[in-house]
Amino acid sequence: MSKPVQNPKTREWQAMSRDHHLAPFSDFKQLAETGPRIITKADGVYLWDSEGNKILDGMAGLWCVAVGYGRKELADAAFKQMQELPYYNMFFQTATPPPLELAKAIAELAPEGMNHVFFTGSGSEGNDTMLRMVRHYWAIKGQPAKKVIISRVNGYHGSTVAGASLGGMKYMHEQGDLPIPGIVHIPQPYWFGEGGEMTPEAFGIWAAEQLEAKILEVGEANVAAFIAEPIQGAGGVIIPPDSYWPKIREILAKYDILFVADEVICGFGRTGEWFGSDYYGLRPDMMTIAKGLTSGYIPMGGLIVRDEVVEVLNQGGDFNHGFTYSGHPVAAAVALENLRILREEKIVERVKAETAPYLQKRLRELADHPLVGEVRGVGLLGAIELVQNKASRERFPGDVGVGMICRSHCFSNGLIMRAVGDTMIIAPPLVISQAEIDELISKARHCLDLTAQEVLG
Ligand SMILES: *Cc1c(COP(=O)(O)O)cnc(C)c1O
């Protein structure tokens, strides 16, 4: 399907991949046969591959490149910090200025009462930190039995042992004997896929009530926390029915458990608010962050913690946890510059007022396509469900792989859309313009047409 390779360098890199590299979330053997597409440069919302093809990045890398590619200020911030102080750690009662300044900047943006940040190298490490901190918190309060963390089927919380266990991806649990003990899962609020005959509203209530049922089953005395993404990203951009979060809030208010919002995707403007928790009016005790924090220019994650929780942790002596790169000064300098750009250029405000409404309107025009069963989205997140029968929401048989077919047409036609099963998803850079949204939609429609020709004949 893809064009034959022209550039001899492409072949060289593909040989290096085959001979020496093990790629994340990949079938090693199959990738060795086909060879990866090599991305060599980027600017704004566009990527170029080693064959010279220009591609509109509808996924902002992996949901992270908020300010777009090619922002020289971010490179300058890293260069300057590397010359001044490339590394020192935050262990043993020492600190460096950038992570301290960053913690203050994040506290200014975070919801009221969330004023402290623990830094990590990634979102997964943020959730590992969360698991240990939450259990430590309850132990300090004299309730060490409160250990169980409730999470959701098809949630994504990272790929470390704790992250993958918290996540509800069955195909990840199958490898490595996960989840680890003390993590249980409840159904997800995925009406299109699992709502059956229920209305979205009724299904949202039902899905939320599963939290209460699980708290009662495990016993409130044993439950430490509930973790959820405000909008599930990797699970397929699952926008919960409007009834879901209000009902969850009601349940959380009844029980003495912590609520953790995994804001790794929703955080830093993706929904048009600074955090997904702001969008849905949630009151988290902790928020996991990463991705948009640095626009992906350098790895960094963290955990934002509510004041009341910090007060308890302050009574607990040493927290025996941390990473060599917790609060890395170069990463923090890049994050600070990234937040400066997001604020001063009013990028989040523009998403809310202009680009999100425009993208959502244009995206919904695709709902009339014969392959499309539903289009949904919030902010600069979108999903397109591919189905065999629009009215009954009936999917294609699994062996058709319609999502993968559509994804390859996108790749070959200058657009990156990701496929989660038969759900096509987008999360473009927050700086995407209206003209670039038009291009995204017209390419998406063209690729849906090519996919329809292939699967419907
Ligand atoms: C990507 C992601 C993570 C994991 O972050 P990494 O930096 O890949 O470890 C955790 N939670 C959510 C919601 C994510 O999308």
Give pLDDT tens digits for 349-407: 999 999 999 999 999 999 999 999 999 999 999 999 999 998 889 999 988 999 999 99
Domain count within the chain:
2
| CATH code where residue 83 lies | 3.40.640.10
Report yes or no on 23 lying in a domain. Answer: no
Per the structure block, which two tokens stand in for 378? 């919030």
Residues 423, 411, single domain; the answer is yes
Residues 173, 186, single domain; the answer is yes
Pick the last residue of a domain from 344, 371, 396.
344
Nearest atom, ligand 1, residue 121 CA: 7
Mean pLDDT of 124-137: 98
Amino acid at 6: Q
Residues 220, 256, single domain; the answer is yes
Residue 377's H or E segment, with its range, is strand 372-378
DSSP-assigned states of every residue in 221-283: GGEEEEEE-SSBSTTT-B---TTHHHHHHHHHHHS--EEEEE-TTTTTTTTSSSSHHHHHT--
Count CB neighbours of 157 within 10 A: 32
Residues 339, 429, single domain; the answer is no
Nearest atom, ligand 1, residue 233 CA: 15
pLDDT in tens, 15-60: 999 999 999 999 999 999 999 999 999 999 999 999 999 999 999 9
Cβ neighbours of residue 215 under 8 Å, at least 6 residues apart? 150, 223, 251, 255, 257
Residues 213, 95, single domain; the answer is yes
Look at 241-245, 314-318, 388-392 and tell me which has the smallest mean pLDDT: 388-392
Is the CB of residue 236 below 6 angstroms from any atom belonging to ligand 1? no
Q: Does the pLDDT at position 137 exceed 60?
A: yes
Q: Does the pLDDT at position 1 exceed 60?
A: no
Residue 63's H or E segment, with its range, is helix 60-63
pLDDT in tens, 248-283: 999 999 999 999 999 999 999 999 999 999 999 999
The angle formed by the CA atoms of residues 284, 300 and 350, to the nearest 5 degrees, is 65
pLDDT at 4: 84
pTM for the structure as a whole: 0.98
Report yes or no on 3 lying in a domain. Answer: no
Nearest atom, ligand 1, residue 124 CA: 9
Residues 82, 124, single domain; the answer is yes
Pick the last residue of a domain from 307, 323, 344.
344
Is the CB of residue 229 below 6 angstroms from any atom belonging to ligand 1? yes
Residues 121, 224, single domain; the answer is yes
pLDDT at 3: 72
Is the CB of residue 123 below 6 angstroms from any atom belonging to ligand 1? yes
Domain containing 416 equals: 37-67+347-456
pLDDT in tens, 185-218: 999 999 999 999 999 999 999 999 999 999 999 9
**Residue length of the chain:** 457
| CATH code where residue 43 lies | 3.90.1150.10
Pick the last residue of a domain from 324, 344, 364.
344
pLDDT at 391: 85
Report yes or no on 287 lying in a domain. Answer: yes
